[in-house]
Amino acid sequence: MASAPTRFRPVRIGVLASGNGTLLEAMLDAGLPVHLVLFDRPCAAAAVADRASLPTAFVERTSFGDAFDRRAYTARVIEALAEERVDLVAMAGFGTVLGPALFEAYPDRVLNTHPALLPAFPGWHAVRDTLAYGVLVSGCTVHLATPNVDHGPILAQEAVPVVPGDTETTLHERIKTVERRVYVRTIQDILKRGTVL
Provide the edge-to-edge strand list for the sheet that holds 88-92: 56-58, 34-39, 13-17, 88-92, 110-114, 137-144, 154-161
- Among 114, 125, 143, 172, the active-site one is 114
Helix or strand run (H / E) with residue 192: helix 168-193
CA-based radius of gyration for the chain: 16
Local structure of 124: helix, strand or coil: coil
Active-site annotation holds for 114? yes
Helix (H, G, I), strand (E, B) or coil at 115: coil
Active site residues: 114
